[in-house]
Structure 1
Amino acid sequence: MRLPQLAGCVIIGILPLLWLPVLPGRWVIWGLMALALLIAQCRRRPAQYAALITLFFVWGALSAGEVLWPTERLTDRNRQVDVELTATDGQTTHQGKIIRLDGRRLFPAPGISLYGSYLPETPCAGQVWAMTLRARPVHGQLNDGGFDSQRHALSQHRPLTGRFITADVRVRTCSLRARYLASLNQMLNALPWQSVMLGLGMGERLAIPREIKTLMQETGTSHLMAISGLHIALGASLGWLLLRGVQFFLPCRWLGWRAPLLVGLASAIFYAGLTGMQPPALRTCVALAAGCALRLSGKRWSPWQLWVCCIGAILFADPLAVLSESLWLSAFAVAALIFWYQLAPMPGGKRSGLLRQSLALCHLQIGLMFLLAPLQIALFHGISLTSVLANLIAVPLVTFVVVPLILTAMFLHLCAPFIIEMAVWQSADRVLAALFWFLRQLPPGWLALDARWLGISLLPWLALIVWRFHAWRTLPAFCLALLGLLSWPFWR
């Protein structure tokens, strides 16, 4: 069995976690495992696929049960626990992991969000607190249009929320990342765009004002704040370029393409760890590792095979990632780009470099706007009409100017004089000020759309297929019938 088929079995086996109302019980799990082993005895390919899909479903159900275990065992009364803080706003909102329960070590440590109370001392990530707390399961909204906080919390492995009754610090030492972040906060305290720079560089989004978050959502630029593919790929590229530069001075027998690839992967993992290894960053690292492994295999893989293998690797490593909307947005965006460039590639021509790059960026943004519409309507019940123009300016500016400046300043913070470092920070701050001034000048572009538009939003995908394969000539009646079927909700 080839690797893409195996990855497809992983995806199909774990997808049922999206709609299962209740996880199967212990005896059902044992029965499914026995059934899978029996089916695997058949040598036919469909039977082998069915056995693998069943086993991967069992794997996903067991992983989900492990995450839900604290909601059944830790929520009935006050508990004596040790909590290691992973993030805090310094006031009344804290996130952490319960590492001990009644003196016994818990593995894996369940995550918890604490609200509503100040700790006796100024907290920071990495500290361990002995707490008496009252926990409860995370609750989600039941209305269709609301954000499902329960599903999001489970995808982040934080199934509990609550408040502490008593708290005493057990380990006062902050983590290296927390100390570095505190030093950066002190350095940037006078700059107006401090919170955005720390969000872009360190993944700290708790302090970003709600006004800025709303502006980025309405202009379709919120994806720039997530420490995921864009930032981590840039970190990997810097590591790759650094080793390529070193190889210039090495003998020919020491040159090769594998070492820069592995150094790029290591750089990506290091940067993801520096930003706190949040779930989007972790998923990006898993996808990069899978891509590097496929590249090192020496075989030629198509873009769709790479896409399936990366999604399969992510879901196998973390089955509850299937609940993450950000994962499916990223996966759908990559699939849309592959589809767009295969069926509607950028036309060639003799143009200057800058003009061609500008047209290529317009071509990319137009494709994303039309092809991502179905998922945006399904998840967010609307689309942004200004996203193309906003991303035409924001994506290259953030990718090639702001993030490199921030990464450079973060490195200079460790070794450079204050004046040089501050000059770089101020440059990034002024570029961000100009960018958000531009975003504020855009007219309100959010268009609310209900579920009736889902069928119509599929038309760009189908239109590309019809146009590319000339189905409008050979099957005109079928095309008209399909158009009528997709617009059926508006006829009622």
Structure 2
Amino acid sequence: MHSPATAEPLQAVARRGPASLWPFRLALPALAWLSGLACVQLQRELPGEGAFAAVLLFGLACLIAAMRSRAAAALRLLGFSLAAGLLAFSYGSWRAELRLAERLPEAWEGRDLLLIGRVDSLPAATLGQAGAPGWRFEFALEAAQAGPLASDPPLQLPPRLLLSAFAEHADAAPPPLRAGERWQLLVRLKQPQGLMNPHGFDYELWLFEQGLRASGVLRPGGAQRRLAEAPFASIDAARQRLREALQRRVSEPSAAGVLAALSLGDQAAISRADWALFRDTGLSHLLSVSGLHVTMFAWAAQGLLGWAWRGSTRLCLRCPAPAVARWGGVAAALAYALFSGWGVPAQRTVWMLASLALTRSAGVRWPWPLALLLSALVVTAVDPWAVCQAGFWLSFCAVGLLMAAGDAEPARGWRAQLMAGLRNQAVATLGLAPLSLLFFQQLSVVGVLANLLAIPWVSLVITPLALGGAILPGLWIWGAGCVELMMALLRGLASWPLAVWTVPVAPLWAQAAGLAGGVVLVLPLPWRVRALGLALALPLLWPAPERPREGEFEFLAADVGQGTAVLLRTANHALLYDAGPQYAPGVDAGQRVLLPLLRALGVRQLDQLLLSHRDSDHVGGAASVAAGLPVRVLRSSLEPGHPLHRLFPSSLPCEVGQGWVWDGVQFELLHPSAEQLQRQQLKSNELSCVLRVRSASGQRSALLMGDLEAGQEAELLRRHRPQDLPAELLLVPHHGSKTSSTPELLAAVAPRWAVVQSGYRNRFGHPALPVLARYQAAGIEVFNSPDCGAWRWRSDAVAPSCQRQLGRRYWHRQPSADRAGLSWQGPPAPGAHLEEDG
């Protein structure tokens, strides 16, 4: 283990002659290994047994042939590289098959099951839909059965589960769960299910990588029982005790959250508002126990141990101080990573440090690119899904950029060290900018300054105080003061104009050019060559978002769970019909789904937000949308005193007869009437705004019905002429409830496609099976969001697309043939989320 300054520069290797270039022959097989694993993660389905056996045998044959061949070195290298790629593909497929085999059988979804096991993580505080407090935790399963009797046969379920436990109501206390304890729990499980939207977070991949193959909620009743206390040596139990001591000592939530995240790896302790602040200032990487903190902790331990070891001649004669210090640093990194929760980023760092220490102990002084490749090989051998994570590429690219742009000799003197720090920060920011835009579609403009100030402050001041508080709790008070000072500075930086640069998703060619440009910009090359890098990066900085043609429109039904949110776009305008549900207090579809989706598509403002009615599954994300994006007009059936009116510059009622034309596309409201808006006794569903959208040619149209029910459907048919209602696309009324979608409506609209926006295994039983049968009898193709994900259609396109099919990978849940996920499985646990995952 060594600092970048001690890495052997490429120029020195080249000067020593061709014989010293033999380590570079390992680079191509290492790259082939990474490519083989990456190919596995791109598969929609894993290869069958025959294909798997063929790839494995061919890879072994290439390896044996390369080892025994007396051909030219280049041919042998090619053989080793081909073998590495094929064997990596086989290895990744094998690991994936093992993980897939742990899936929850569909027959046990939605049924009460009695589990015995151990709380296998630090319980994270969460809130249910009704504001009931609760815990979310990982559970290591030991035994499971479907009945309450000991004689009931055991079940084969996934070995690790993600469970939630909620209090019975908002004023009650959640179950007293503690890390490391053994419990008997009555739970209701479901397969991993995430929201599938264009350019959205892949929650199912995250669960798959963590080995969590089912999620569930504790059921009410007396079956929950603690069986044993946590073992004395339980690390997670010690972490929970320290977290509680920290929360008692530090009352300010933001400071306590940051200190808990840095010392215990409890990132859930940081509020969403604080995470947004760290993201906007480019500091998200600092507030997790990442490679930076683990590495700095290891370097500090290495320095202290080496200094102490050199003080004893006898110890140095037995074992050289550098070797002891090197492996002592790895041991310290391992201890810190374990105590902070053994998160995936910390694991990657430990394996990287261990591999570097191993090469140095073996007397190998490889140039830094090879050392970095070896580390990546070790990391992906342990965690094949690391290549799917942005953190993997950001971590290794950051180290590579710093080493490539660094000097062979370390800086001497404080001025030189300050300039080296400024240069390294600029290199990291410029070099990682294309990756940040590629992964997150945003770049913190103030990030260079924020990182320059915060990295030494967090790494050298706050983190040592957070860790030292475990021994001297009084240090947490000092740490909290330092956190509050930093937060005040970050709020000031985030308030600057254009503090965050947000761009839509660029096409693939622009992404590739931007990555190449970022590398060229930071390498020690002449400025004329670096200018080429800037030119390559420009398409990634200012991509031209794809828009509908003049006279046409795009319909995108976002996957928001149990709720409605539809984006309608023309050539130059955008309308959002409803804003999705609120999942829990402070968590809604606006912040989690709609704002990231709108930014990725290049929607910089909404010309209109149309809220069909006041139910929370339709307006739950409206406040977040208003806070995150300019909205010119709110149009709704909300009562005049509704608080949402105050969030928008202009607010209009939606009434039948209103209409407008954008870029040749016609928009018309068909319900409710002005008289109905004045009648207080009507239910909110009965006031749903019904919107019809028609292309300029009049050949393509869509009808959005809100939560209209049978009585108002009949009124709609009486009020409008028969030729006004037919539409090629129907947004199914009330999520497919039994109270809507009458045969008369389906006959009058006669849609080709119908879209249902509902949650996976939702508690309402939407869409109802009789309603689906009614659509099927009418010859209408129905798309349900749990099976389809986001549904997207352009009026000038032949067919629509489902995001779950477009972005399908082998780890994603596949729709069942018998549509078992649509049937009602009973009420949820008290306080549970309407849409728990994603």
How does the TM-score come out when normalised to structure 1? 0.86
Q: Deviations over 1:382-402 (max 9, x none)?
A: 111010111111001111111
Partner residue of 2:486?
435
CA contact (8 A) 2:517 2:536 kept: no
* Structure 1 segment 63-78 matched on structure 2, within 5 A: 63-73=95-105, 76-77=108-109, 78=111
Partner SS, residue 314 of structure 1: helix
Using the alignment, how far apart are the partners of 1:370 and 1:128 within structure 2? Answer: 49
Change in Cα spacing, 1:481 to 1:310, as seen in structure 2 (3 Å) is closer
Q: Deviations over 1:25-82 (max 9, x none)?
A: 2332222222223333433422332223211211111111222223253764434433
Partner residue of 1:418?
none
The amino acid across from 1:245 in the alignment is W
Compute the displacement of 1:403 (Å): 1.2
Change in Cα spacing, 1:6 to 1:124, as seen in structure 2 (3 Å) is farther
Partner residue of 1:126?
180
Q: Which moved more, 1:147-156 or 1:482-491?
A: 482-491
Q: Which moved more, 1:197-206 or 1:121-130?
A: 121-130
Q: Which moved more, 1:76-85 or 1:193-202?
A: 76-85
CA contact (8 A) 1:81 1:98 kept: no
Partner residue of 2:206?
152
Partner SS, residue 166 of structure 2: coil
The amino acid across from 1:18 in the alignment is Q
CA contact (8 A) 1:99 1:105 kept: no
Change in Cα spacing, 1:133 to 1:331, as seen in structure 2 (3 Å) is same
Change in Cα spacing, 1:400 to 1:463, as seen in structure 2 (3 Å) is closer
Partner residue of 2:274?
212
Q: Which moved more, 1:325-334 or 1:110-119?
A: 110-119
Using the alignment, how far apart are the partners of 2:48 and 2:291 within structure 1? Answer: 37
Compute the displacement of 1:161 (Å): 1.7
Change in Cα spacing, 1:75 to 1:429, as seen in structure 2 (3 Å) is farther
Partner residue of 1:317?
382
Partner residue of 2:424?
364
CA contact (8 A) 1:88 1:124 kept: yes
The amino acid across from 2:217 in the alignment is R
Q: Deviations over 1:121-170 (max 9, x none)?
A: 40011122223433223223322232221222222222322223353322
Compute the displacement of 1:311 (Å): 0.5
Compute the displacement of 1:238 (Å): 3.1
Partner SS, residue 87 of structure 1: coil
CA contact (8 A) 1:371 1:461 kept: yes
CA contact (8 A) 2:184 2:226 kept: yes
Using the alignment, how far apart are the partners of 1:135 and 1:262 within structure 2? Answer: 43
Compute the displacement of 1:15 (Å): 0.9
- 1:56 aligned to 2:56? no
Compute the displacement of 1:358 (Å): 2.6
Partner residue of 1:23?
46
Partner residue of 2:245?
186
* Structure 1 segment 156-167 matched on structure 2, within 5 A: 156-165=210-219, 167=224
Partner residue of 2:227?
170
How does the TM-score come out when normalised to structure 2? 0.52
Q: Which has the higher helix share?
A: 1
Among 282, 296, 309, the residue aligned to 2:361: 296
Q: Which moved more, 1:272-281 or 1:242-251?
A: 242-251
Partner SS, residue 450 of structure 1: coil
* Structure 1 segment 216-365 matched on structure 2, within 5 A: 216-251=278-313, 253-254=317-318, 255-341=320-406, 353-365=413-425
The amino acid across from 2:280 in the alignment is E
Q: Which moved more, 1:214-223 or 1:368-377?
A: 368-377
Partner residue of 1:459?
517
Partner SS, residue 138 of structure 2: strand
Partner residue of 1:417?
none
RMSD: 3.4
- 1:40 aligned to 2:32? no
Q: Which moved more, 1:287-296 or 1:73-82?
A: 73-82
Using the alignment, how far apart are the partners of 1:26 and 1:323 within structure 2? Answer: 24
Partner residue of 1:117?
166
Partner residue of 1:416?
none
Change in Cα spacing, 1:140 to 1:337, as seen in structure 2 (3 Å) is farther
Q: Which moved more, 1:450-459 or 1:156-165?
A: 450-459
Using the alignment, how far apart are the partners of 2:161 and 2:144 within structure 1? Answer: 16
CA contact (8 A) 2:514 2:539 kept: no
The amino acid across from 1:93 in the alignment is W
Q: Which moved more, 1:223-232 or 1:82-91?
A: 82-91
The amino acid across from 1:99 in the alignment is L
The amino acid across from 2:317 in the alignment is R
Change in Cα spacing, 1:26 to 1:136, as seen in structure 2 (3 Å) is farther
Q: How many residues align?
A: 474
Compute the displacement of 1:406 (Å): 2.0
Q: Deviations over 1:274-332 (max 9, x none)?
A: 11211111111111111110111102111111110001100011112222222222122
Partner SS, residue 158 of structure 1: coil
Compute the displacement of 1:194 (Å): 1.5
Partner SS, residue 321 of structure 1: helix
CA contact (8 A) 1:10 1:315 kept: no
Partner residue of 2:123?
88
Change in Cα spacing, 1:479 to 1:156, as seen in structure 2 (3 Å) is closer
Partner SS, residue 101 of structure 2: helix
Using the alignment, how far apart are the partners of 1:272 and 1:50 within structure 2? Answer: 35
Using the alignment, how far apart are the partners of 1:48 and 1:456 within structure 2? Answer: 31
Change in Cα spacing, 1:83 to 1:326, as seen in structure 2 (3 Å) is farther
Compute the displacement of 1:379 (Å): 1.0
CA contact (8 A) 1:140 1:148 kept: yes
Compute the displacement of 1:486 (Å): 7.9
CA contact (8 A) 1:13 1:57 kept: yes
Change in Cα spacing, 1:431 to 1:379, as seen in structure 2 (3 Å) is same
The amino acid across from 1:360 in the alignment is A
Compute the displacement of 1:491 (Å): 12
- 1:198 aligned to 2:260? yes
CA contact (8 A) 1:75 1:134 kept: no
Partner SS, residue 92 of structure 1: strand
Using the alignment, how far apart are the partners of 1:325 and 1:483 within structure 2? Answer: 19
The amino acid across from 1:178 in the alignment is A
Compute the displacement of 1:108 (Å): 12
Using the alignment, how far apart are the partners of 2:103 and 2:383 within structure 1? Answer: 19
CA contact (8 A) 1:74 1:135 kept: no
Using the alignment, how far apart are the partners of 2:485 and 2:449 within structure 1? Answer: 15
Change in Cα spacing, 1:311 to 1:372, as seen in structure 2 (3 Å) is same
Partner residue of 1:379?
439
